[in-house]
Amino acid sequence: MAARPYWRGQIRLALVSIPVEIYSATRSGATIAFNQIHEPSGKRIKYEKVVPGIGPVDVDEIVKGFEYAKGEYVLLDEKEIEGVKLESKKTLELTQFVDAHDIDMIYFEKPYYVVPADDLAEEAFIVLREALRRSRKIGLGQLAMRGREYVVSIKACGRGMVMETLRYADEVNKASSYFRDIGDADPDEELLDLATTLIDKKTGKFDASEFHDRYADALKELIERKKKGKTLNIDTDEKGADPRGSNVVDLMAALKNSLGSTGRGTSRAAPKQPAAKPGAKTTAKKKAGARTPAKAPARKRA
């Protein structure tokens, strides 16, 4: 368990208060960080905090300021900011309970593990955990951490509970502004059946360990090769490629080829192909023919 909790306080449900500690449930991945280097000298670029007309300043002389008009600031020190009274700094009051599927996944932000603060809090903690599990609900409340107040959810998780911070409504862009230009026509049934069959063949249980950051791995390999002074061959195969991918007419052939190349078995048989619409079959064959060996042209009859 982490040495220091991210937040320490109490969960309150009506008149019941449960002392808890909250720990971050995630950590940063293997991100490759780069520094800016002055190439002629090979030395690292540094940044200094300066004031125009004065020059570099001492960190102790810096305070926080809010710009309420152009060039006009209200100055605040850390003690004044910390002195802002907010009950949710120490208490997470559960004010509402909802079904998990009632909240769109786009609102969930970051998970935290919640554990009882001591042995005396354990009984009440377990009661709340099991009540959430039995009712299949998640609790909602607000909590102040690290300079801002969050909407949070609480749900049962194994022997403990998980708290997740949620985005406020004004932090989520309206999907309609991005999706409005997408047509509402029904998809071709044969294409839909092929795509569904492909999904069925690739369906399995989620295992996070099966995935890793391939980009970070490639960068590490690149760095090692550069350290050893090896010559690098830059792949330019994608140069000039059409960013839109294959022509939509090839979708049928691509789906069929995908089903044929999938190694995993399926209990669902491929659907029978309905008769193609006039004109569509000929076009599809012409496009699909570009991906298969060309056949000898038929001889014309005399």
Per-10-residue mean pLDDT for the chain, 302 residues long? 79 91 84 88 90 89 90 86 77 93 93 94 95 95 88 95 95 89 88 88 83 78 80 61 54 81 49 48 43 46 42
Q: What range defines the domain where residue 196 resides?
A: 189-202+249-261+281-288
Are residue 90 and residue 166 in the same domain, yes or no? yes
User: Is there a domain that residue 66 lies in?
Assistant: no
Are residue 165 and residue 194 in the same domain, yes or no? no
| DSSP-derived 3-state class of residue 95 | coil
Longest dimension (CA), the chain: 99
pLDDT of residue 262: 63
User: Is there a domain that residue 217 lies in?
Assistant: no
Contact yes or no for 153/164 (Cβ under 8 A): yes
- Rounded Cα distance between 15 and 164, Å, is 23
151 backbone dihedrals φ, ψ, rounded to 5°: -85, 130
Q: Which two tokens stand for residue 254?
A: 């691509």
3-class SS shares of the chain: helix, strand, coil, % to 5: 30, 25, 40
Are residue 101 and residue 163 in the same domain, yes or no? yes
pLDDT of residue 147: 78
Q: Rg (Cα) of the chain, in Å, rounded? A: 30
∠ Cα 107 108 113 (to 5°): 160
Are residue 117 and residue 161 in the same domain, yes or no? yes
Are residue 102 and residue 150 in the same domain, yes or no? yes
Are residue 138 and residue 196 in the same domain, yes or no? no
Contact yes or no for 284/249 (Cβ under 8 A): yes
User: Is there a domain that residue 88 lies in?
Assistant: yes
Are residue 24 and residue 96 in the same domain, yes or no? yes
Write the DSSP symbol of residue 80: H
Are residue 137 and residue 110 in the same domain, yes or no? yes
User: Is there a domain that residue 37 lies in?
Assistant: no
- Rounded Cα distance between 217 and 208, Å, is 17
Q: How many helices (H) and strands (E) would you count in the chain?
A: 7, 14
User: Is there a domain that residue 54 lies in?
Assistant: no
**CATH code, domain carrying 122:** 2.40.290.10
User: Is there a domain that residue 20 lies in?
Assistant: yes
pLDDT of residue 207: 81
Residues in the chain: 302
pLDDT of residue 47: 85
Are residue 122 and residue 255 in the same domain, yes or no? no
Predicted model pTM = 0.66
Strand partners, 18: 11
End-to-end Cα separation, the chain, in angstroms: 86
Q: What is the pLDDT of residues 249-294, one digit of tens each?
A: 588 788 788 887 765 444 444 444 544 444 444 444 444 444 444 4
Are residue 19 and residue 162 in the same domain, yes or no? yes
Are residue 136 and residue 254 in the same domain, yes or no? no
Total domains, the chain: 2
Sign of the alpha-carbon dihedral angle for 21, 22, 24, 25: positive
Contact yes or no for 154/162 (Cβ under 8 A): yes
User: Is there a domain that residue 12 lies in?
Assistant: yes
| DSSP-derived 3-state class of residue 10 | strand
Contact yes or no for 250/291 (Cβ under 8 A): yes
User: Is there a domain that residue 125 lies in?
Assistant: yes
Q: 67: phi > 0 → left, psi -120 to 50 → alpha, else beta; which? A: beta
Sign of the alpha-carbon dihedral angle for 266, 269, 273, 274: negative
Are residue 14 and residue 133 in the same domain, yes or no? yes
- Rounded Cα distance between 17 and 155, Å, is 17
